Amino acid sequence: MDRVALVTGAANGIGLETAKRLARDGWKLAVLDLPDAGLPDKFKDLGDTICITDDVAEDRTAPRAVATIMARFGRLDAVVSNAGIMVRKPIAQLTLAEWRRVLDVNLTATYFLARTAEQALRAAKGAMVTIASTRALMSEADTESYSASKGGLVALTHALAVSLAPDVRVNCVSPGWIATGDYAALRPADHAQHPAGRVGKPEDVAEIVSWLVDGNRSGFVTGANIVVDGGMTRKMIYAE
């Protein structure tokens, strides 16, 4: 049977590269992003792919996505919950509406997607991967809503891993600096500050996701948070 994966936030960056990687691995795909994100054009050459245009924060989106997948493919083996946004403002300027919007997109949508997909994932003995951030572990100023949402994802991941066990494995990937624009425009200093010697690429995250959703390769891994940051969270930095 063909394996089927759903990737949210699939129009750009980590989501786009992850979806392409899974397609190369032989997965059938459903990809989800906002209506103006250009999904059909970006996935027109990837064969039997469902493009779902909607907002992950809306109640209707997860049920619609799962129903569409089951109607087309009859199964769902993996969910990659990647969609996320950031609002970066001093806390005194961050509105309650903005706070709620970030948590709805980054955290609550993942919970609702897991709840909606549970039956299909259990039937497939499948896997779920959430995409958090090293900002769940360390912070810059003015990132309260984003950091809180990503920290929540790490905790939600291990809670789901226990609740859905043993049928469904649930793991988290926490990327550090992943350059999604012009990689050649990065400065030598940007690369040199990383113990790995370079800034990350979307392919670095996609590689880990590919491994995590494949039970033949990662079947003993669940509830984990895998940090993909070139070593930055292990590096002590002091002002000179």
Q: pLDDT digits over 138-174, tens only?
A: 999 999 999 999 999 999 999 999 999 999 999 999 9
Residue (of 38, 72, 55, 154) closest to 113 by Cα position: 55
pTM for this predicted structure? 0.96
- Return the CATH number at 218: 3.40.50.720
Q: Which residues span the domain enclosing 97?
A: 4-234
Helix residue ranges, H only, 82-201: 96-103, 109-124, 144-163, 188-192
Contact 232, 193 (CB under 8 A): yes
**Number of folded domains that form the chain:** 1
**Any domain includes 114:** yes
pLDDT, average across residues 87-110: 98
| Class of residue 238 by CB neighbours under 10 A (exposed 0-12, middle 13-18, buried 19+) | exposed
**Catalytic amino acids?**
146
User: What is the rounded CA–CA span in Å between residue 227 and residue 175?
Assistant: 6
**Any domain includes 8:** yes
C-alpha distances out from residue 64 to 10, 56, 61, Å: 17, 10, 5
pLDDT in tens, 165-212: 999 999 999 999 999 999 999 999 999 999 999 999 999 999 999 999
**Any domain includes 239:** no
